[in-house]
Structure 1
Amino acid sequence: MLAALLVTSCAGGEDKESAPAANPSSSAPHGYVEGAKEAAEQQSRLLLSDPGTGDTRVLDLITGKEHKVPRVAGGAELTTDGRFGYFHTSRSTQVLDSGSWMVDHGDHVHYYRAAIREVGKLPGGTGSQVRSDIAVTALTGEDGRVRLYRRAGLEDGKIPSPRTLPGTYAGAVVPYEEHLLAFSEEDGKTKPVVLDRKGKRVASLDEKCEEPRGDAVTRRGVVLGCADGALLVDESDGTFTAERIPYDEDVPEKERATEFRHRSGSDTLTALAGDSAVRVLDVTKREWTRVDTGPVVAANTAGEGSPLLALRDDGTLRGYDIGTGKEVAKTKPLLTGGQKKGAVGDGEDGDGGPVIEVDRSRAYVNDPAGKRVHEIDYNDDLRIARSFDVGIAPGLMVETGR
């Protein structure tokens, strides 16, 4: 799953909760977005899909209302950038506007809600990777070619004509600080490079990154997963730098961090380390920690002193103190019949599987076999705050509005 990005945008549709569209003017209040309603709190929604049937829902976590949306046949993977859901099928990537998002200005945040609507299809299927910032969405195909789409077009409810960049790149191309971060193969080495929005190289970074997999945008910069740990790429006054954050031990290939999960805005990342442990990367401290959890299906954390959340294969959600590795909380089984990793798929066979989505106050765990989603208060000993019966097997789930 890609890390969710904080994006600015506007929605052109309306629903019962949306403000009437109006013409913006010089007297429009700060934060005004035409066609959307600004709210005082985060407007979280869950995008849910059954990979077997294609049935898809949007669950509004503010109202508790479930919205039916068109089926997504053959959906094998679902990712998000904080507003849009990207349903990756074998032939294309379908885009759904969830109608909820946030805008982070650093010292304050704006929250918005608007209509839920289909946007269209991007080329490229399950091997494609999508990353976004406030201006562009980058689609990196299996062949390494990159197409850039204007965010304004997606926000208007349509797929704009893309700009296809010259050359090919290894791994996902990540928009960052009005540029693009990419991996280039040179002299037998994989190194990060910085491109402008037309695809012209403007900088090459000194550090190499063998076998790049996984990335996350944090307030400290972009974290890129490598065979020997991670690179942290940052920008200051137009200059990009890369800093290595190596593992503190020799790590077997099967235990490397290859997909990061974290709360949007947090600098604490999690990644499965094989079948029985989780690696936690504190970006601020430049420090890796391994937590032995036992057989684990999914993991995440809110960071900043919150527990590591690990979903075990017996269906229980457990909380761990990241510093000591000690288990501090445990739920009853949340998954119908338990869940062994890969039993309903790990995203590679198109069946989806349980994940943990985390925001500022709650975590969400999907139970595909039980056709429900559990809301967890991770600040209250993993108390089950709510459970939603969604009527479909939600093997794919992401949270928007963050």
Structure 2
Amino acid sequence: MPNTTLARAAIAAVTALTLGGCGSPQEEAASPDSRSQPGSDLAAEAGSTEVEGPEPRLVVSDADSGRVDVLDLATAETLHSFEFDNPARVSTVKDRYAFAVDGAGGAVHVVDAGSWTIDHGDHTHSYTKPPVELGVLEGGTPAHVIEGDDKVATFFDGDGVARVIDFAALRKDSIDVGAVVDADAPHHGVALPIADGFVVSHSAANGTDSRPGTFEVHTADGEVEHGFDTACPNMHGTAVSDTDALAACDDGLFLATTAAGAWTSQKVPYPAGIGAATRPMSFRGHDGLPIQVAAAGPAATNDGVLVFDARTRGWTHVRTADRALDVALSGDGRSVFAVLADGTFRVYDTASGAETASSHVLAAPYDWSDESATPPAVVVGGTRAYVSDPASKTVTEIDFRDDARVARTFDVGVAASTLGVVGL
């Protein structure tokens, strides 16, 4: 059993997870960060305990059964297993909550993973409580869960509506829907909370494609405030910030911007050589950063990694040694991570695209031609990255600041399809 006291000290600063590999000598623990200031000026929520520093947890979903596990990252102990009806895709929200989407069953299970940190600028407060399911959102074919503007919007394709929950309600252990946003028709859509309203997808004009064709702006009370002339054929992959909403289309990146209450839109071309088969299908980023990263197409046609900078509207096309299966971005925006089909984890410089480190993380290369196989996933928590290996039912923890060193490998006992980190 790892030395929990040392482990807690090592992760008291938001950045640190410094235990050694399972069954290997423990690494030297980092000193607690002086920004941690428990018990002084913020009351704990009912049922929670204030702790000395962040105690991050890993959320793991099972591709086969629908089970969702919450692990303590200091001890590798499974704190709770949630048994859902169907394989769930988990979206981690506000570094605390897990929205487990059961598309087949028409349900979204909202879980409080039970670890969070509140930043007061000059110090932080961290809290823990037992993981618990807060409730279920139900509707026709739930799909995208999007966080933004202190809200989270879940779009139900079969109903053509998004159900929106305020974070203030979640903090009170409530999943009461604060708003219902109606799209024009049922479709494979999305609602992006932004600027006290929503950028909502609009169904394709010809009605033959389930994916949307463009977007419009809805006010908080449901009125359509603005329509965009910029088309977005076969939209899939979105991101939102305080002022920008973006979406990947077959013919380029749709980018809508709000300033002084007015909306504008444009189509940003992809880099040379990127087309419908190698365009982004999803984005990864962090709050407060202008950078978004994506795999350049699905595994079957992948051509590396794409980095988009919203400040310059510029792209970096990173050529990878093998097909990029999943990607992530460091919290400071300086490094891009990718897990490749050859079984390696690679680190790239965000600005230049140059590879800076790599390590082996999969027990065997991934067979991208096997359509039934569950691909690996990568997620970032503080200064560690976590990569799932569904074939070996493990998750690898990587210290990406230390030459992509493999720090630990967890035997999670499931073919993990999605990962999330909470508590930081």
TM-score class normalised by the smaller sequence: 0.7 to 0.9
Distance 1:62 1:198, change over 3 A: farther
2:109 equivalent in structure 1? 94
- SS at 2:277 equivalent: helix
Residue in structure 2 matched with residue 371 of structure 1 by the alignment: 393
Q: How does 1:302-317 map to 2 (within 5 A)?
A: 302=330, 304=332, 306-317=334-345
Asked whether 1:361 is paired with 2:374, we answer no
The yes-or-no answer on 1:287 pairing with 2:300 is: no
Match of 2:195 in 1: 177
Identity of matched residues, %: 30
Q: Is the 8 A contact 1:54 1:71 kept in 2?
A: yes
Contact 1:220 1:267 survives alignment (8 Å): no
Q: Deviation digits for residues 260-307 of structure 1, max 9, x if unmatched? A: 123454332221113241111122322111111122221222175633
CA distance in 2, matches of 1:392, 1:186: 38
Q: Normalized against structure 2, the TM-score is what?
A: 0.76
CA distance in 2: counterparts of 1:104 and 1:244, whole angstroms: 36
Distance 2:374 2:141 in 1: 12
What residue number does 1:85 align with? 98
Q: Matched residue of 2:176: which SS?
A: coil
Q: Does the CA contact (< 8 Å) of 1:268 and 1:304 recur in 2?
A: no
The correspondence for 1:212, drawn from 220, 229, 235, is 235
1:165: which partner in 2? 181
Read off the aligned partner of 1:339 and give its amino acid letter. Answer: Y
CA distance change for structure 1 residues 303 and 50 in 2, over 3 Å: closer, same or farther?
closer
SS in 2 for 1:257: coil
Question: Hey, what does 1:383 align to over in structure 2?
Answer: 405
Residues 88, 343 of structure 1: alpha-carbon distance in 2 compared, 3 angstrom cutoff? farther
Q: Which residue number corresponds to residue 328 of structure 1?
A: 356
Contact kept in structure 1, 2:183 and 2:202, CA below 8 Å: no
Equivalences for 1:181-330 in 2 at 5 Å? 181-184=199-202, 190-205=213-228, 207-218=230-241, 221-249=244-272, 251-274=274-297, 275-293=302-320, 294-302=322-330, 304=332, 306-330=334-358
1:278 aligned partner, one-letter code: V
- Cα offset, 1:365, TM superposition: 0.6
Structure 2: which amino acid aligns with 1:180?
Answer: F
**In the alignment, structure 1 residue 120 sits paired with structure 2 residue 139:** no
193-202 or 245-254: bigger deviation? 245-254
Equivalence for 2:23? none
| Contact kept in structure 2, 1:76 and 1:126, CA below 8 Å | no
Could you list the per-position Cα deviations for residues 11-52 of structure 1 after superposition, in whole angstroms to 9, with x for gaps in the alignment?
Answer: xxxxxxxxxxxxxxxxx9655452344567544321112222
Query: What letter corresponds to residue 289 of structure 2 in structure 1?
Result: S
- Between 1 and 2, higher relative CO (CA 8 Å, sep ≥ 6) is seen in 1
Q: How far has the Cα of 1:390 moved from its partner? A: 2.3
CA-atom RMSD, angstroms? 3.2
The answer as to whether partners of 2:200 and 2:217 remain within 8 angstroms in 1 is yes
1:71 aligns with 83
Q: Distance in 2 between matches of 1:302 and 1:385?
A: 17
CA distances 1:233-279 after superposition (whole Å, capped 9, x unpaired): 34444334435432233532111112012345433222111324111
Stretch of structure 1 that moved more, 133-142 or 251-260: 133-142
How far the C-alpha of 1:397 sits from its partner, in A, is: 1.6
For the 8 Å contact 2:338–2:346, the answer to whether it is kept is yes
1:34 to 38, 45, 48: 45
Kindly tell me: are residues 246 and 105 of structure 1, through their superposed partners in 2, closer, same or farther at Cα, counting changes over 3 Å? Answer: farther
Shifted more, 160-169 versus 49-58: the winner is 160-169
How many pairs are equivalent?
A: 369
Asked if the contact 2:61/2:88 (under 8 Å) is kept, the reply is no
Q: Which residue number corresponds to residue 4 of structure 1?
A: none
What amino acid is the match of 2:283?
Answer: F
What code does the residue aligned with 2:391 have? A
Distance change >3 Å, CA 319–CA 159, structure 1 → 2: closer
